[in-house]
Chain A
Amino acid sequence: MGTQFNKLKSNPMIRKTGFSCFALFLSLLCGAVIIGYSGYSPINIYKVIFVDTLSSKSGIMLALSQATPLMFTGMAFAIAYKVKIINLGEEGQLHCGAMAAAIVGAYIPNLPHLPHVFMALVAGAVAGGMIGLLTGVLKIHFGASEIITSLLLNSIIVYITSYLCNGPLKPLDSSSPQTPFINESARLTRLVPKTQLTTAILIAIAIAVLLHLLMSKLTLGYEMKAVGLNLNAANVHGISIARIYLFTMILSSAIAGLCGSTLVLGVNGRYVEDISLNYGFAGISVAALASYEPLAVPITAIIFGILKAGAFTVDRTTNIPVELVSVVQAFVVVFIAAPKLTEFILGIFNNIPGMKQKTGGC
């Protein structure tokens, strides 16, 4: 029995999963403190969030549609992190992609459905990818830290798209900042009528599988992993670091751009100023909870999707605002990022008299 348990623990997949679960648990515990402070019972609230959401069809649909953008941004962050690039520019790349998709969707008339959707999606991916290309070139040729440049580019892009939807692209009959509605032909097909669940989620899952194949089967993926694990060793073995960096930046930001496209084509039907509900930075939490494995990202995105969908209900019926989710997400990053912290907390549990149980080298 004991040896079997230890064997299970030495499996890296199971270790990582167990670790992620524990980190999520700690984050929910921090959320519980906030719920308790607001004068509600954390158990009841979490029951509403998880059980009630999953027991109705509309709840599940809402959770899945909330999870879709998180899948994209989560994968974008995860794939860059494999190469030890921290892509903090997703927010800007998303806006850029959304604007491109909105323009292609609204201003190209009389196109059949599939080519139009395809063009609009690609436009978003290309627009996002261009930002990644720019960030990569600035890093490789000018030595500018991609962390700083992408954070600055976020602000610059959001101001440019904000100018576009406040000025030149704003329809005459609208009072709020937005672009005209896209043509019906550019809309993503709804999987379930009257929900926001569209084919976007299938695209996201397909990308997750493709990314997994890239990392596990292709030479390029092997080289990316090598650069991520040991830059100098990869360099000595003749892998062009600059090429890998550039490719990864473009890939990561194209996925973020695609997220923008799907939001326009599937959810809003147009570009609106607050199209991204902080999806770019939420992607960090999603990727971290998935231990940066692209194939696990859809699962962790769905967990956060459920949390978000449930939080909407809680927001409506109690005083606890939906912002609770962002706090839990932020705590996830803290706990996942710090394996040693989590081990430390586990250590405290182990040292409580009566619970003392030798659990081996954790």
Chain B
Amino acid sequence: MDNIFAVILLATLRMATPLILTTTGAVFSVRAGVSEIGCEGMMIAGAFFGVLGSYLSGNAWVGVLAGVFFGMLFALLHGVLHVIFKVNQTISGMSVNLLAAAIAPLLIKLIWHTNSLTGNVASISSLEQSFLKEIPLIGGFLSQLNLFFYLAILFAVSGWFYIFKTKSGLRMRTVGENPLAASTLGINVIAYKLTGTAICGVLSGLGGVYLSLGQLSQYVDGMTAGRGYMAMVINTFGHYNPIGAIVGSLFFGFFDALQIIFQSSNIPSQFLMMLPYLVTLLVVVFGLKNTRQPAGVGKHHDA
């Protein structure tokens, strides 16, 4: 791996992994008509409770399950507040973000007695010793990617198949476009909205778990670094389509990866770290002209 292109490609794919997972989740949420602003909190929940699960059980896979479960729990908080208790979706999404961001440091202090980072726990092992290495030519490259990357692609593709090729997916899109019409057709609007939000939580939680247990073996405060918000932009950028989510995540992952590559240069690190956000902002301002959110996002079928 002394080839610079291979290094950039590898870093891009690694940085894109959590974005693909979270954005695919966000696609489900928005297609079912619920805003995806809580993704950041769901990622934090996934990242933190993943580490906590792994710490308590000593098994990284239990951690993954815990992260996914709590990601879903926080998503359902957002979903239930918005869908059943009719809260403004931005406020309910933000309350999930605030709650997750507040609970993690509190529990870190209570359990590890440290400030803002946990101890090391069992993490997901790399694939470097797996069968992938035996594949000729590209085997060495493929085995350096995390298992989560393959999972992300799998989930995105199957998510695309579900949303656009199945009857149930069509119903979910109907709920997102026009909940009243969907309700008239006898579709259980609330169930679809909550399912979409829950799937968003599962995948965002998995995206968070990748950051804490896939890339590292601990949780550090602020490690999600606004990726949940970036997923919102990628979601729009990719026209609320999981395949678009892959493409968009690779684009943003590339800018995330650039900062690693330029780390040894003279450019102040703050500007490198700022780059992904700046690019995202420019895309929001100039690049999202022709995209349209599903018409029913934030609407209730009985109001």
A interface list, Cβ under 8 A from B: 34, 37-38, 86, 88, 138, 142-145, 147-149, 151-153, 155-156, 159-160, 162-163, 166-167, 281, 284-285, 288, 319-321, 323-324, 326-327, 329-331, 333-334, 337-341, 344
Contact = CB atoms under 8 A, between A and B. Distances in A.
B92 interface: yes
10 contacts: A37-B110, A88-B94, A144-B288, A281-B98, A284-B91, A323-B105, A333-B91, A334-B95, A340-B85, A341-B87
Given A156-B277, A159-B270, 14 more contacts: A156-B274, A160-B270, A166-B268, A281-B98, A281-B101, A284-B94, A324-B106, A326-B98, A327-B99, A331-B99, A333-B95, A337-B95, A338-B86, A340-B84
Contacts of A326: 98, 101-102, 105-106
Contacts of B101: 281, 326, 330
B88 A337 contact: yes
A338 B88 CA distance: 9
B77 A334 contact: yes
Contacts of A339: 85
B284 A148 contact: yes
Contacts, number: 125
Interface stretch (B65-73, B123-131, B226-234, B242-250): B226-234
A323 B105 CA distance: 7
B270 A323 contact: no
A323 B274 CA distance: 28
B85 A151 contact: no
Given A149-B284, A152-B284, A159-B270, A337 B102 contact: no
Contacts of B273: 159
B110 A319 contact: yes
B286 interface: yes
Interface of B: 37, 77, 81, 84-88, 90-92, 94-95, 98-99, 101-103, 105-106, 109-110, 113, 225-226, 229, 232-233, 268, 270-271, 273-274, 277-278, 280-281, 284-286, 288-289
A341 B81 CA distance: 8
A178 to B, nearest CB: 15
B102 A323 contact: yes
A86 B92 CA distance: 12
A344 B85 contact: yes
A162 to B, nearest CB: 5
Nearest to A325: B102
A308 B56 CA distance: 31
Nearest to A315: B109
